Amino acid sequence: MILMLLAPHPSWLIIVIRHHLLTLKSYGWLATHLLISYTLMFLACTSLIVCLARDPGPVSSPEDAQDDNEETSFTEALMASGADDFNSPGKWCKKCWATKPERTHHCSICRRCVLKMDHHCQWMANKCIGHRTYPAFVHFLTCTVLMAMYMGGVAISGFYYAFTNPTSIDETTPLHELGIGFVGLIITAVVGSFLGYHLYLISINRTTLEDLSPFLLLRLIPNLMNPHDPFPTSEHRLSFNQRRVVKRTHRQIQLYNVGWRKNWGQVFGWERRRGWVYRLLLGGAGKGDGRAFPRNPRSEEMLVKLADDLRNADKDS
């Protein structure tokens, strides 16, 4: 990832020096282009370092750490954590053999649970993006897209100048401008689309896993097959009609959507009215401990309706 960020800069320096300094004799534009591009580069690198160095969301805090020689049975652990209700936000991870707080997911690649896990990113040193790194991840995407748009725009304008004034510039600079312009357009289109998707997810307070995995909702509703069973219904026990109901309605069930302003403040951690300016410039961390989140006031109503729709799915067929 760092190599991809640094690779265009030799050509970028050739463009701004040969075109704006040697050809146009514009020291002001030279300084402006260097200041803006390398400020965005610095901000992108700081966010990238945070994503690579910070733990995405450890489930067990130092206070919860116990001696390795101490053995705790399954029943004792449940009683100690108060997780006697498997339909409550706090659940049990059978792979980590530990409690799993609300919106926490187990990553099969990292082999651990991550608080508010968004997704596992191979581009970020094969690490997960979670509660403690998601703001930095979005900040990195934003800075990368802005840098690609800016450098690509400057390169394309320089290439147009060289095309209309062929005798005023050397023959190699337009090749660098064409290359930077093409790379800038590709990065803007690809990474920009990815960034737009995450901005949409932030606005409705949903993670990538929650958006792409509709059957995660089953963990929050009672067992449809056996109401006396404390474990929720599993996906493989649903009928074809019930699966269609879940897939059709899961995008409308926004359990954690408390309004776009509060959603953004919750993700980036600002509390003051204009605190988002500081967070968008320098990144930041989400609010809270990543274990509990405010719910949409209509969340229970939406879950009850989904449960009723699932019970009646096969009756209506």
Catalytic residues: 121
Angle of helix 27-53 versus helix 134-164 axis, rounded to 10: 150
Give the CA angle between residues 49, 55, 58 to the nearest 5°. Answer: 170
Nearest alpha carbon to residue 154 among 15, 56, 258, 249? 15
Nearest residue to 22 via CA among 149, 227, 173, 229: 173
In the DSSP assignment, the letter for residue 23 is I
User: How far is it, in rounded angstroms, from Cα 201 to Cα 205?
Assistant: 6
Report the C-alpha dihedral over residues 37, 38, 44, 48, rounded to 10 degrees: 150
Segment holding 120, helix H or strand E = strand 119-121
Q: How far does CA 286 lie from the centroid of its chain?
A: 12
Specify whether the CB–CB gap between 102 and 294 falls below 8 A: no
Pairing status of strand 105-107 against strand 119-121: unpaired
- Position 284, amino acid: G
82: left (phi over 0), alpha (psi -120 to 50) or beta: left
